[in-house]
Structure 1
Amino acid sequence: MTTITQTAPAVAASSRPGAGAALRQTMTLAWRSMVQIKHNPMELLDLSVQPIMFLLLFTYVFGGAIAGSTGDYLQFALPGLVAQNMLFASMTTAVGLNVDIAKGVFDRLRSLPISRSAPLAGRIVADTLKQVWAFALFLGLGLVLGFRVHTGIAGVLGALALLLAFALAMSWTAVLVGVTAASMEKVQILMFSLMMPITFTSNAFVATDTMPSWLQKWVEVNPVSHLADAVRGLLGGGPVASDATISLLWAAGIAVVVAPLAVRAFRNRI
């Protein structure tokens, strides 16, 4: 009797998704993250409580002492508060990423036939878009309290675009912290330790010339100072080009330096 041995055909390794497929998968996962807000409103509440609390606190507690008038201080401080909130909101990216890694979410997504970068990129896109809500809340409450926009809708959209560009760059810092920190608590400590000094040693809340001369030198190069001044110009009128350009250069520099480190750390962790 002749034995016939049948060899199973080799399974060809699946090719990586192309750029178009990776983009579609990224947007699908970003949309999934946005839709989750409907089932977990606390995610949006995190971006709502801090803007309201900070705007009321700084305006009515510090405004009179710093500017002599709460109305004058609101006109000066609101753009700085928007910039500060944008930086602090990046903590949600770091914390959320760390929690997803700990729970094995990325391990499950990795088993799917999708681009390896799509889950990370989807979270970054979703968390950046969530900041539109915080900006709208800041501006809406500011208008109720007496803040006035003197540049029309074009200025508002320009300020939002600049803030989102800077937020997108800063999200890579959040990714780096989120994937390297051992726990959610350490993520919060590291992000807070980074964001607090850089925002409070800027001109976001007080004019530069009121500070000691040695501190003014740092304030004048602090990226948050340029971002706050650019947003002031875009919302209230005044010079914009120089501060906006410097802010975008800072954002590009942060992304160029930190993004490769964040991607490498992410690949090593996942």
Structure 2
Amino acid sequence: MSTVATKDKGQAPDELTFEAPKAEELAALLVSKDRPPRPSALSASLTFGWRAMLKIKHVPEQLFDVTAFPIMMVLMYAYLFGGALAGSVEEYVQFLLPGILTMSIVMITMYTGVAVNTDITKGVFDRFRTLPIWRPAPMVGYLLGDVIRYLIASVVMLSVGMIIGYRPDGGVVGVAAGVALLMVFSFAFSWIWTMFGLLLRTEKSVMGVSMMVIFPLTFLSNVFVDPKTMPGWLQAFVNNSPVTHVATAVRELMAGNWPAADIGWTLGWSAVLLAVFGTVTMRLYNRK
């Protein structure tokens, strides 16, 4: 196909008329070329997950919440409450570390919603919505990228815990099982914040709402103390909190036990969170 330039009589010497290509030529050009294959849902999600990793590469300060923050949490609560609640830091850290690990990972899930809101504000998602990809891929990619951050935080906290005296009786297998269960719950729990990231107008609003939800949910649990010492009405809430079920399951798995009931509750909560907030998130994303 070519565009031919012609010159009519009576035109100025520097004026040329261009003939538009014929429809047959355009059709032949388009039909003769093979279209690239549509990426699979997994491929598209992994691509967006890699994008999240690249953002950390270019802005390494984003790792502050999965490095310095977990170290601060472990040392502060272990040395602040260890002597009063268990007689020594070494004794208390056996109970505390799995709980504080759960609490820290659950708390940093809120940054997923902040990242989503930031990209929406900048107009990045307008481009994503025009791509011929699986619709939830950008959201799933965000969450997959954040799972890597959660794993980094887990390694950091467990390393600090080992230094100050934590000794998991479940060994490597128990620790790995506990961390894996926590990653499943965190992935599902993060969909709450993607919903808020789409629903609210500014990242400050996302942070404010996230704090209002996370702080009561994590502190009103068995992360720090056994709920048996709490008032009856508070025990009823704490014992049925999803964070309590996760913390108990992680604690028991790392201790070498198999808490089937708490594992079941954790997986059940994960399924409910994913089904409810995942559906709401995608409806908001399609309408945004």
TM-score if structure 2 supplies the norm length? 0.85
How many Å separate the matches in 2 of 1:243 and 1:152? Answer: 20
Unaligned runs of 5+ in 1: none
Shift of residue 115, structure 1, vs aligned partner: 3.3
- Alpha-carbon displacement from aligned partner over 1:127-178 (angstroms, at most 9, x marks no partner): 1222100010110110001100111211111011100110111011011111
2:135 is matched with 116
Structure 1: how far apart are the matches of 2:280 and 2:211?
Answer: 20
Does 1:199 pair with 2:212? no
Of 35, 45, 53 in structure 2, the residue corresponding to residue 34 of structure 1 is 53
Return the offset for 1:17.
7.2
Q: CA RMSD in A?
A: 2.2
- The one of 231, 235, 257 equivalent to 2:250 is 231
Partner of residue 95, structure 2: 76
Larger Rg computed on CA atoms: 2
The runs of 4+ residues in structure 1 deviating greater than 4 Å are 5-12, 15-18
The one-letter code of the counterpart of 1:250 is: W
User: How far apart are the structure 2 equivalents of 1:29 and 1:222?
Assistant: 32
- SS class of match (1:192): helix
Identify the match of residue 47 of structure 1 among 62, 66, 78: 66
> 1:196 and 1:113 mapped to 2: Cα distance?
39
CA distance in 2, matches of 1:206, 1:26: 39
Other-structure match for 1:220: 239
Shift of 1:182: 1.3
> Which of 211, 216, 223 is the aligned partner of 2:230?
211
Shift, 1:67, TM fit:
2.0
Aligned counterpart, 1:56: 75
**What's the CA shift string for 1:233-265, capped at 9, x where partnerless?**
111233422211111111111111221111111
CA contact (8 A) 2:191 2:277 kept: yes
Structure 1 residue aligned with 2:8? none
Q: Which amino acid aligns with 1:138?
A: M
1:210 partner letter: T
Partner deviation per Cα, 1:65-113 (whole Å, 9 max, x = no partner): 2222211111101111111112111111010000011011112333444
Partners in 2 of 1:89 and 1:42 — Cα distance?
14
The alpha carbon displacement at 1:7 in A equals 4.5
Q: Distance in 1 between matches of 2:265 and 2:137?
A: 30
* Alpha-carbon distance between aligned partners in 2 of 1:17 and 1:6, rounded to the nearest angstrom: 28
Matched, 1:263 2:288: no
Q: Distance in 2 between matches of 1:238 and 1:154?
A: 11
- Unpaired runs of at least 5, structure 2: 1-20
C-alpha distance in structure 2 between counterparts of 1:55 and 1:85, whole Å: 9
CA distance in 2 between counterparts of 1:240 and 1:16 reads: 49
* Aligned counterpart, 1:106: 125
For the residues of structure 1 that align with 2:240 and 2:37, how far apart are their CA atoms?
42
One-letter code aligned to 1:266: Y
Give, as a single letter, the amino acid of the residue that structure 2 aligns with 1:208. Answer: P
* Contact 1:17–1:115 (CA under 8 A) maintained in structure 2: no
Matches within 5 A, 1:107-186: 107-186=126-205
Contact 1:17 1:114 in 2 (8 A): no
How many Å separate the matches in 2 of 1:255 and 1:117?
13
Query: In the aligned structure 1, how far is the partner of 2:91 from the partner of 2:53?
Result: 36
Change (3 A) 1:102 1:16: farther
SS of 2:110's equivalent in the other structure is helix
Q: Which residue of 1 aligns with 2:43?
A: 24
- Kept in 2, the 8 Å contact 1:203–1:228? The answer is yes
User: Could you tell me the percent identity over the aligned residues?
Assistant: 38
SS at match of 1:178: helix
